[in-house]
Structure 1
Amino acid sequence: MVFESKNESVLADVRASAGRWFMRGLAIGMLLMAAVNALSYFFRSSDWSGLVGRPATLNSAIGFPWQVWEAGNTYGGMFADYRAMGLNIASAAVVGCVIGAFAVWQRDFLNDAVDGAMVVDPGDAKLNSNASSHSGNSQKLAPVQFSLRGLMIVTTMAAIASTVVSRLAVHPITLVTIYAIGPATLVGLAMIPHRWSWQRRVVLLIPITFSLIAIALFVGHSLQMEFDQVLMGIFLSWTPQSAVAATALAAFLLAGQHRESLAPSN
């Protein structure tokens, strides 16, 4: 049937080879190690004031498993311990390779999990097919549209953002807000457009991300912070949040697949 062939086409696109699963595992390992390195700042540093203003002391450092930077240390003009940084990158690669090897070993299970999330429901496929035939061009993408509710939400959020920037631009709470809810804000704004594909939502994330970073840099400049201090704050806060979100999403998909595998077949 048409719906079955469409499902088979979708599944053929999403099923990944061993090499692709290895690269995905490698990327996950690198992301997790980057998150651990970001979190190491809060354990190696006794003074976090440099993230929201001029640092009160120089008791700040970062790096895991080896320390790569310490406030006040110029490292002979290099501003970081690049040997330790290389060792940390190598450690992340090792962790990524282990996760990648595990992903290759479990690729059938992982492919089934992805397949379950990507299968096209016959009812939805029939509805989409009827709508496409009515328009006379089933291959043409629908134009980009915002729902009225989405437009109102965007307008409201833009007004709130403008108020925050204009009224609290020189206040540390603005930076704390960007640090704390940055990834959540990005995903929330990307989900507002009505009936967009996930590819378009990913593209939408790019300007929103740069806008938030620009706001953070503006606020940091108003607080007399160095450029790299603001970027470090974004790295320290956004990277662990992204790793947690990616891990939670993957765990949710795998748990759903595991429950389906344990359920009795009809």
Structure 2
Amino acid sequence: MMMTDAILTIRDIAQALKLGEKTIYAMASEGELPAFKVRGQWRVRKVDFEVWLSRQAGDHAASAADEMADLPPTEPLANSSQMDLNMPTVAHETHAMSDLSERVPLQELHRRFVSALDPTSVRSHSAWEVKPFELDLAPPLPQRLRVYMFNATRPPGGRPLGEHKIQLIAPGQQRGQRASFDNGDGRIVLLVGYAAEEDVFILWDAGLYADFAWSRNVQVKAATIVQASAGKLATQDRQLRPPSGRPVAETVLAVKPRRLAEAILKRMELARERLLRE
């Protein structure tokens, strides 16, 4: 017979991780939690949650090989010896992730992206909950766009203060699998992070992120976020050092919503320059 506490709710997990329910909802919507829906409500099996929690350190270590070599290593969020996963309820299990910044649900990410553009520029778009999010735009913006959008958060440890990151998980990608962005149908692909607390969009070069591991970390420096928060079109130059192959230069962009269209055009310009160099 199934135990009464074998299924956890969004509220249960929010209490366990000391995070807001909106943050947990966003994590479930983006596939970061082993959650499933019952009549539109998110639920997580307690055993799956415990396994997920205990594997966080291992996942960060595994993804480190895909990150830039000049970045400091990711410290584990916590280890299993610090967590009492045998408690009858989850309310007092851990507060190891309490420093994570605000997250918003996937639908809201897409709404904020569209709201940042001139209404006359957006001809049509896919349903809010669909990922990747596809838009048809008016010139001079790219007419066919495919956006992979993620919450950009401040990890709780092992990173420079204020640095933000996203975790790449493609639709349908499972733990241990590798994935790539869909470049088909003539659509231009954008890799976008959104720092909700600062209301800043970050645009990486999607063409440099192929065949990535599940939950790969992609970062942006705190100084870049600060410059964008001040209203600038902020840029950050860095070197990607893949496990095999020569280093590749990338320019990361960050902007407030009113300059998103400008950043999209700049991202396209930089991508063209990179392709010409190759």
Q: TM-score range by the shorter chain?
A: under 0.3
Bigger relative contact order, structure 1 or 2, given CA contacts below 8 A and separation 6+? Answer: 1
- Structure with greater Cα Rg: 1
Compare the two structures and name the one with the higher helix fraction: 1
Compare the two structures and name the one with the higher strand fraction: 2
